[in-house]
Structure 1
Amino acid sequence: MPRFAANLSMMYNEVPFLERFAAAANDGFKAVEYLFPYDFPAEQVKSQLTDNGLTQITFNAKPGDWNKGERGIACHPDRVDEFKQSIDQALAYARELGNKKLHVMAGISHPNFSHAEQRATYLSNLAYCARLAQQENITVLIEPINTRDMPGYFLTHQEQAHAICAELAAPNVQVLFDIYHCQIMEGDISQKLKRDMRRPFGGIGHIQIASVPQRNEPNLGELDCHYLFKLIDELGFDGWIGCEYRPLGATSAGLNWMPR
């Protein structure tokens, strides 16, 4: 059975963020992920990891102003300096927290720039990030996200993401395969896992799961999560699966899908 990391941005919302680490550990989780740590000093987050015996798997570089609807700035030609500052900040946090994977959000397509301009900026920014991250032995993750949840998002399909990885040819840039997003945009999950698990450049560097269509516990909805878990094992994936779902009720009460 794969190893599961609790996503503390979506799970355990019954308690404040810093209390979610202990809640996840009490339910048997050994690893965590979340969207952003930047509201708290890195050493404060680190103490929660240490005190609860948890491994930090990944988080996102700062995406611009999240509260104003921004979902990344990596593809925005007019914000390159801000992007570089966000990477410096993210790598400083990763140094303290110990995670070896960093998700860089592409952003919403900008109406004032052509697709070609934005793609060129995205590639250039990812190359910059990859060079710095490689010095820290960190893998940069890029994630196709569905346009129902994020209308206008720049990166939406698996093949699109793998084409970017191939063009960059950086050894530490991989694709975050989010089963929820992929099912909404493309479907055919098992075949894409088989096709993309290991590529010369890219490959699947991290997996996240939630049910479709409601993004709740993974044993609900239209997908057979246990079939997918078995397949992921058979394909030799040795990373963590992030539980990026919204619990239907109390988080702990909904964990019956996960073998203890």
Structure 2
Amino acid sequence: MVNIAANLTMLYTEHPFLERFDRAADDGFTAVEFFFPYGLPADDIQAALTRNGQELVLFNLPLGDWDAGERGFVGRPERSADFAAGLAEAVSYARVLHPTRINTPSGPAPDTAESFETLVTNFSLAASTLAAEGVGLVIEPINRFDVPGALVSTVPRAVELLDRVGNDNFGVQYDLYHSVRAGEDPFEVIAEYLPRIRHIQIADVPGRHQPGTGALDFERFFAALDDGGYEGWVSLEYHPEGLTGESFGFFRSAGLLA
């Protein structure tokens, strides 16, 4: 059976960030993730994890000025120094928070050979740096409707990058919402690429809300993960329709959340 985690950036937004760990624990979550720890004291985040006995399964590398609309820059050669600085900042937080994995999308960039080679260089650095810290690295393909110009927008493209980097510490973060929005069939993706997938995030499509609010067959999806032997985390990364605590009906009825 897969393991369920809560994304605290998108869930429990009716509460201040550090209180979301407590609310998630009240709802039975023993593992959490979030977009970014930066700007908060790492010790405060670790205290929230510790008091709730929660595992931190993932956070993101810095992606630039998020509030101004930046969504990553790993494939832009003129931003390589920024990438290295962001990696160093992520490592400083990882040494306190001990995440299972750190993620980054590629961000938008011209779809050129130079951009792809920049991805290879930067992800090679990150994979080896994080391996030395005992932390995995994943790349998340992002659809081009939500992030126009995203350099890595599909799972096959991400796997091409993995093969070029050639580091076992580097895998795919599979976001079901982004995959479907990019035109992929999730069941074909699972059948072909599940061994390369290290982390999964889910939301229904369209709307990016909880299961049952869109068109996706989540019973079939979770059955496919079980049949494929997936043992990683599946994080709930959706905008709840209604209060967060009322959005877990599917997971409780399926026995995925107590």
TM-score by length of 2: 0.95
Matched residue count: 253
Partner of 1:160: 157
Are 1:76 and 2:76 counterparts? yes
CA distance in 1, matches of 2:147, 2:225: 27
Report the Cα offset of residue 89 of structure 1. 0.9
Give 1:79 deviation, angstroms: 1.2
Superposed CA deviations along residues 190-216 of structure 1, whole A, max 9, x for unmatched, are 121011011xxxx00101100001100
Partner letter of residue 248 of structure 2?
Answer: L
Retained in 1: the 8 A contact 2:58–2:101?
A: yes
Question: C-alpha displacement at 1:105, in angstroms?
Answer: 2.5
How many angstroms apart in 1 are the aligned matches of 2:171 and 2:57? 14
Identical amino acids, percent of aligned pairs: 37
Compute the RMSD of aligned alpha carbons: 1.1
| Aligned residue number for residue 64 of structure 1 | 64
Deviations along 1:203-242, one digit per CA (max 9) or x if unpaired, are: 0010110000110002321111111111101111111101
| Cα offset, 1:187, TM superposition | 2.9
Query: Structure 2: how far apart are the matches of 1:95 and 1:105?
Result: 22
1:52 alignment counterpart: 52
The equivalent of 1:250 in structure 2 is: 243
In 2, Cα distance between equivalents of 1:34 and 1:178: 14
3-state SS of 1:29 partner = coil
CA drift at 1:142: 0.4
1:182 correspondence with 2:179: yes
Q: Which residue of 1 aligns with 2:19?
A: 19
How big is the shift at 1:85? 0.9
Asked whether the 8 Å contact 1:94–1:100 carries over to 2, the reply is no
Q: For residue 246 of structure 1, report the CA deviation from its aligned partner.
A: 0.3
AA of the residue aligned to 2:178: H
Any stretches of 5+ residues in structure 2 without a counterpart?
253-257
Q: Which amino acid in the other structure matches residue 207 of structure 2?
A: Q
Q: Map 1:111-190 to 2 at 5 A.
A: 115-190=112-187
Instruction: Give 4+ residue runs of structure 1 displaced > 6 Å after superposition.
Output: none
Q: Deviations over 1:105-160 (max 9, x none)?
A: 211115xxx62221111110001111111111221100111111111111101100
Q: Which residue identity lines up with residue 190 of structure 1 in the other structure?
A: F
Bigger Cα displacement from structure 2, 93-102 vs 244-253? 93-102
Aligned residue number for residue 255 of structure 2: none
d(CA) in 2 for partners of 1:189, 1:100? 24
- Name the residue aligned to 1:215: 208
Tell me the CA shift for residue 100 of structure 1: 2.1
TM-score calculated relative to the size of structure 1: 0.94
Once the 2 structures are TM-superposed, how far is the Cα of residue 186 of structure 1 from its aligned partner? 2.3
1:15-67 alpha-carbon deviations (Å, 9 max, x no partner): 11111000000000110011001121111100000011111000000101111
